[in-house]
Amino acid sequence: MSIDEEHTPADEPVAAEEAAPEEAAAEAGQPEASADNAADTAAEVIDENALVYEKIEGDDDDEEDAAAAPKVISPYDRPGRWYVVHTQSGYEKKVKQNLEARTASMNMDGRIHEVVIPMEDVVEFRQGKKVVVQKKMFPGYLLVRCRLDDDSWFVIRNTPGVTGFVGQGSKPSPLPRREVETFLQVKADDAEAAAGPKKTRARKLYEMGETVRVKEGPFADFSGEVIEINEDQLKVKVLVNIFGRETPVELEFAQVAKL
């Protein structure tokens, strides 16, 4: 049999049958495109759902962070009320220790909760340099947080060094919220972290009309009267007599001294 005879017409239908699916697929291209479109649409839906989920999850995280953030608790809202107790000046720390010891030994912890010496940061000059030091806000006074009744009053009043309560009439008056939060400087981290650095003030070293001596600069050894005090800039204006004429001179706190 020749090579031409081997390729019979019977082989052509087979090729046609093999090609038929491809042609059918070409003719039926619309269904395949629909399947691809459906897959793409499903992928988009999944992406959108993921975005929505991330957004919701992010909102939950924000709420958790907000809930986890420390809240500032005012000392006024602690149990008991705050009272001012007068002490012998210069013995505030010793009186505080005495009162805390008596509170513990007489089992008054449930009524006398806290004893505080109000402090503040003050800018002073030492050897010509600015130094921030802590000073008593009210020398001769303590703040006591307690549930005041006859027993707690007796323990506090009879503590060595205590001279009495501060208040109108015979009954001690508790401090209002505004004064408590001012004296105890509300912050967050005790709440200290949220408050940042504590505010400092210049110690009032000089008085209006006071005579001071100039220590440094071109007017050294001159004396004059203080006519203006600028605590924010730590400067004073002094009326100096120069050649028989009074001249106002602005100087830093460190450049003058008390007579």
Tokens of 121: 């940061």
80 vs 68, more confident: 80
Q: Counting every residue, how long is the chain?
A: 259
Host H or E run for residue 210 = none
> Average of pLDDT values for 6-26?
46
Judged by DSSP in three states, 12 sits in helix
Q: What pLDDT, in 10s, does the model give residues 177-192?
A: 988 988 887 644 444 4
Q: What pLDDT, in 10s, does the model give residues 99-144?
A: 999 999 999 999 999 999 988 888 777 776 778 888 888 888 999 9
The whole-number pLDDT of residue 18 equals: 47
The whole-number pLDDT of residue 208 equals: 86
Class of domain 75-201: alpha beta
Burial of 212 (0-12, 13-18, 19+ CB in 10 A): buried
Class of domain 211-258: mainly beta
The whole-number pLDDT of residue 21 equals: 46
The whole-number pLDDT of residue 199 equals: 46
Picking from 118, 116, 124, 92, the residue whose alpha carbon sits closest to that of residue 200 is 124
Q: What pLDDT, in 10s, does the model give residues 73-105?
A: 889 999 999 999 999 888 999 999 999 999 999
Burial of 234 (0-12, 13-18, 19+ CB in 10 A): middle
> Average of pLDDT values for 12-30?
47
Phi–psi pair at 214, nearest 5 degrees = -80, 125
Q: For the range 121-125, what are the long-range contacts, defined as Cβ-Cβ under 8 Å and sequence gap of 24 or more?
A: 121/198, 121/199, 121/200, 121/201, 122/200, 122/201, 122/202, 122/203, 123/200, 123/201, 123/202, 123/203, 123/234, 124/203, 124/205, 125/205, 125/253, 125/254
Q: At what angle do helices 150-157 and 92-105 cross, to 10 degrees?
A: 140
Tell me the whole-structure pTM to 2 decimals: 0.50
56 vs 93, more confident: 93
| Cα(124)–Cα(56) distance, integer angstroms | 54
The whole-number pLDDT of residue 258 equals: 83
Tokens of 151: 């027993």
Q: What pLDDT, in 10s, does the model give residues 156-215?
A: 999 999 999 987 567 788 999 988 988 887 644 444 433 344 444 545 567 888 899 888
